[in-house]
A and B are shown apart, each in its own frame.
Chain A
Amino acid sequence: MKQSGVKALLLACAGLLALSGTADAGTVRVTIAEYSKGTGPYFNEAAQAFEAANPGTKIQIEVVPWDNLQQKLTTDISAGANADLSIIGTRWLLDYVSQGIITPLDAHVTPDFKGRFIDTFLKPSVMDGKVYGLPIAASARALYYNKDVFAKAGLSGPPGTWAEFTAGAEKIKASVPGVFAFGLQGKEIETDVYFYYALWSQGGEIVQGGKSGLGSAAAVAAAKLYRSYINGGLTQPGVTSYSREDVQNLFKQGKVATVITAPFLSSQIKNEAPNLQYGVAAIPAGPGGARGTYGVTDSIVLFENSKVKEEAWKFLDFLFTTDQRTKFDKIEGFLPVNVKEASDPYFADNADLKVFTSLLPGARFAPVIAGWEEVATVTSNALQTVYLGRAEIEPTLRDAAAKADEILAKK
């Protein structure tokens, strides 16, 4: 390369740089977690629409990869350089509230505004009667099953109980070679959640009366169930190397017959594996008929140290209008959080989504405890030990429960 060429290039870059100025008073900075490739474009478009309607206010969208969100927020907040609004996992909310980092929105949340929301999804963001965040993303979990594989194995429909599930899985193993009956997640985010599905169906709870439910008989039964699937070759091999995305990919390829996951898998299948014949059903029930699905929301919160709270609130108000919500949830494949939005034919007539919404009354959310991430980590580690068959189930879970109790007692 010629010297002058390099110089010209550098000068060109310097010119580009000059365009990026620092934020001024009327600017609302928003930290956005990136759910899909559509997230950034959606929010930028929304920001432009808002700016057009509200001259004088500038919205600056800062997209962060999900995996780095916690790191970024921690660094930002510790340096006092956080944005005005940010998406966070609702399960972290208590930590933020107890440190006084975010501000309640009650001054603005009129009953009318509250009425926009489906109550189930707003509730997790409410603490001590105050609204600390608004549910920007919501999902629940259900069982996806491969209809072709089920038909080949002579199964007429989705299993209602884990006992039926086991029997069906054996049939699949015997009659459909190359397909594993149950896609079991054993790695990274939500490894613990995948276990709670079985735990709840056995009548267990994650936390009960301030104590971990991990050492309970229900937890042991649930772990035994999953372990028996692993040992019996009913799951994909090497479950501890499969994250949620990996298991979903196996399902898209038709390599596993079932997987428990969120509504967004439907939209992925539509794009990536349009020929896959699949159905969505409730997660199987346990012997006592108990069952549960996991409901999860992410909240958008307003920071206490924001200097543009009024403008920020206006933007929130805008984001939670029916039009904006509908657009966003369609792009991401999330459940509607807005009552009017839910009556949009796209959601109301969607067979997959209907299953998810029908499960919502029984949905459980992450318990509101400080240090929830730590409990989840302890649980995931114990489960991986169990899945690998490294140790006896009961003592492993009992140890984990003791550790979790210690964490729960600390705060």
Chain B
Amino acid sequence: MGRRATAYCLILPSFLLAAFIVLWPLKEIINLALHDVNRFGLLRAFSGLANFRTLFADPDFLAALWRTLVWTAGVVGGTLAVSVPVALMLNGDFYGRGAARVIVMLPWAVSLTMTAIVWRWALSGESGMLNSGLRGLGLIDGNIQWLAEASTAFPMQILIGIEASIPFTTTILLGGLSSVPDELYDAAAIEGAGAWDQFRFITLPLLRPFINIAVVLNTIYVFNSFPIIWATTQGGPANSTDILVTYLYKAGFRLGKLGEAAAVSLIMFGVLLVFTLIYVRLAMREEAA
């Protein structure tokens, strides 16, 4: 058996599995998006791009599109800004490191849906434990109605998103850091490199592929993430915290516009595709340089 044939045999099972859950649904979605569809997914007349035109004429959709970009950038950026230093610290040697690692990973132990529900419960204005806690600490006088307006709800949602993404990101980075051999640092220390130089010239370059993975995967997951916003505000009040997934969910399942919902999902798919292609290309050029 040739090397090439071996390679194909090795990847075949995983290819089949991954293709199985993507290609068929994708075909279905494209079909739905290009047709006039009844609320139970029955295709009526072919309608070309009509579903897309309806969407782009809807100011709520455009606002949701823009908000999705802010949401994704906020959560992914925030997560990375926190996770890199945290991973570096957790990779270092200090008392209670094991405990610290478990704590940082804990949000992962709760499903996103439950995390969101717990936060909603905690953020409630009159009977939420966040307000009563902050009052007890003397940080606020009156109750803050966190979820009543987008100006307080949306930043909170981003914060919850960051909290929920940190474990995954930190773990990937720690995995990457674990492959940096100690000898490199020893050698650098002998040559008189300071901590900052060690970070810049040894850690960062070795960590970069893992940062790239974290950015790409987080972007995909956060962009498509539904539970946090749904459980806390359902995209309200008055659509002011809607992102594309919540918009899609309401259009598809509440209003029964499956065609438009399918079109939204294709647009989302397109946005992600363009982003990753650009990012992967840039990242690879950097890695090569």
Which A residues fall within an 8 A CB radius of B? Answer: 70-71, 74, 77-79, 95, 99, 101, 186-188, 236-242, 246, 249-250, 253, 255, 371, 373-374, 377, 380-382, 384-385, 387-388, 390
Chain B interface residue count, Cβ-Cβ cutoff 8 angstroms: 30
B236 contact from A71, A99, A101, A240, Cβ within 8 A: A240
**Using a CB-CB cutoff of 8 Å, which residues 126-141 of chain B contact chain A?**
126-127
Does B237 touch A at the CB level, under 8 Å?
Answer: yes
Alpha-carbon distance A381/B237, docked complex (angstroms): 7
Alpha-carbon distance A110/B23, docked complex (angstroms): 50
* Given A74-B252, A373-B255, A377-B255, A237 and B40 contact (CB-CB distance below 8 Å): no
Residues of the A chain whose Cβ atoms lie less than 8 Å from the Cβ of B38: 99
Docked-complex contact B255 and A374, CB < 8 angstroms:
yes
A70 contact from B126, B237, B253, Cβ within 8 A: B253
Alpha-carbon distance A349/B125, docked complex (angstroms): 38
Docked-complex contact B252 and A238, CB < 8 angstroms:
no
Alpha-carbon distance A250/B128, docked complex (angstroms): 12
Residues of the B chain whose Cβ atoms lie less than 8 Å from the Cβ of A246: 124
* Given A240-B149, A377-B254, A77 and B125 contact (CB-CB distance below 8 Å): no
A-B complex: 7 closest residue pairs judged by Cβ atoms: A238-B145, A78-B41, A238-B148, A384-B237, A241-B147, A240-B237, A241-B148
Docked-complex contact B258 and A186, CB < 8 angstroms:
no
From residue B277, how far is it (CB to closest CB) to chain A in Å? 31
From residue A139, how far is it (CB to closest CB) to chain B in Å? 21
Docked-complex contact A381 and B238, CB < 8 angstroms:
yes
Which B residues fall within an 8 A CB radius of A? Answer: 38-42, 124-127, 143, 145-149, 153, 233-234, 236-239, 249-250, 252-256, 258
Alpha-carbon distance A48/B42, docked complex (angstroms): 36
Residues of the A chain whose Cβ atoms lie less than 8 Å from the Cβ of B125: 236-238, 241-242
Q: Identify which of B124, B239, B258 gathers the most chain A CB atoms within 10 Å of its CB.
A: B124
Residues of the B chain whose Cβ atoms lie less than 8 Å from the Cβ of A188: 234, 236
Docked-complex contact A249 and B255, CB < 8 angstroms:
no
From residue A41, how far is it (CB to closest CB) to chain B in Å? 23
Docked-complex contact B238 and A384, CB < 8 angstroms:
yes
Docked-complex contact B40 and A187, CB < 8 angstroms:
no
Docked-complex contact A237 and B145, CB < 8 angstroms:
yes
Nearest opposing residue in chain A for B38, CB measure: A99
Q: Identify which of B39, B42, B125, B239 gathers the most chain A CB atoms within 10 Å of its CB.
A: B39
By secondary structure, the B interface counts as loop
Residues of the A chain whose Cβ atoms lie less than 8 Å from the Cβ of B153: 241
Nearest opposing residue in chain A for B231, CB measure: A67
Nearest opposing residue in chain B for A382, CB measure: B238
Residues of the B chain whose Cβ atoms lie less than 8 Å from the Cβ of A79: 41
Residues of the B chain whose Cβ atoms lie less than 8 Å from the Cβ of A71: 249, 253
Docked-complex contact B39 and A99, CB < 8 angstroms:
yes
Docked-complex contact B40 and A101, CB < 8 angstroms:
yes
Alpha-carbon distance A371/B238, docked complex (angstroms): 19
Alpha-carbon distance A261/B238, docked complex (angstroms): 23
From residue A302, how far is it (CB to closest CB) to chain B in Å? 16
A-B contact pairs, 15 of them (CB 8 A): A74-B258, A77-B41, A95-B256, A99-B42, A101-B40, A237-B125, A238-B145, A240-B147, A240-B149, A241-B146, A246-B124, A255-B127, A381-B239, A384-B238, A388-B148
B41 contact from A74, A373, A385, A388, Cβ within 8 A: A74
Nearest opposing residue in chain B for A383, CB measure: B238
By secondary structure, the A interface counts as helix
Docked-complex contact A74 and B253, CB < 8 angstroms:
yes
Docked-complex contact B42 and A388, CB < 8 angstroms:
no
From residue B247, how far is it (CB to closest CB) to chain A in Å? 12
Alpha-carbon distance A255/B253, docked complex (angstroms): 35
* Given A240-B237, A241-B145, A377 and B250 contact (CB-CB distance below 8 Å): yes
Docked-complex contact A95 and B39, CB < 8 angstroms:
yes
A388 contact from B126, B127, B237, Cβ within 8 A: B237
* Given A241-B147, A381-B238, A384-B238, A74 and B127 contact (CB-CB distance below 8 Å): no
Residues of the B chain whose Cβ atoms lie less than 8 Å from the Cβ of A387: 237
Alpha-carbon distance A263/B275, docked complex (angstroms): 52
From residue B143, how far is it (CB to closest CB) to chain A in Å? 7
Alpha-carbon distance A384/B239, docked complex (angstroms): 9
Alpha-carbon distance A401/B41, docked complex (angstroms): 29
Q: Identify which of B145, B233, B250, B258 gathers the most chain A CB atoms within 10 Å of its CB.
A: B145
Alpha-carbon distance A13/B213, docked complex (angstroms): 35
From residue A318, how far is it (CB to closest CB) to chain B in Å? 28
* Given A95-B39, A99-B42, A381-B239, A239 and B253 contact (CB-CB distance below 8 Å): no
Residues of the A chain whose Cβ atoms lie less than 8 Å from the Cβ of B40: 74, 77-78, 99, 101
Docked-complex contact A74 and B256, CB < 8 angstroms:
yes
Docked-complex contact B237 and A187, CB < 8 angstroms:
yes
Residues of the A chain whose Cβ atoms lie less than 8 Å from the Cβ of B42: 78, 99
Residues of the B chain whose Cβ atoms lie less than 8 Å from the Cβ of A381: 236-239
Residues of the B chain whose Cβ atoms lie less than 8 Å from the Cβ of A237: 125-126, 143, 145, 148
Docked-complex contact A74 and B39, CB < 8 angstroms:
yes
Residues of the A chain whose Cβ atoms lie less than 8 Å from the Cβ of B145: 237-238, 241
Residues of the A chain whose Cβ atoms lie less than 8 Å from the Cβ of B149: 238, 240, 388
Alpha-carbon distance A4/B256, docked complex (angstroms): 49
Alpha-carbon distance A382/B149, docked complex (angstroms): 14
From residue A34, how far is it (CB to closest CB) to chain B in Å? 16
A74-B258, A241-B145, A241-B237 provided; 10 other pairs, C-beta below 8 A? A74-B256, A188-B236, A237-B125, A237-B143, A237-B145, A238-B147, A241-B153, A381-B238, A384-B237, A388-B149
From residue A389, how far is it (CB to closest CB) to chain B in Å? 10
* Given A74-B41, A99-B38, A239-B148, A249 and B127 contact (CB-CB distance below 8 Å): yes
From residue B252, how far is it (CB to closest CB) to chain A in Å? 7
Alpha-carbon distance A99/B153, docked complex (angstroms): 39
Residues of the A chain whose Cβ atoms lie less than 8 Å from the Cβ of B127: 249-250, 253, 255
Docked-complex contact A373 and B238, CB < 8 angstroms:
no
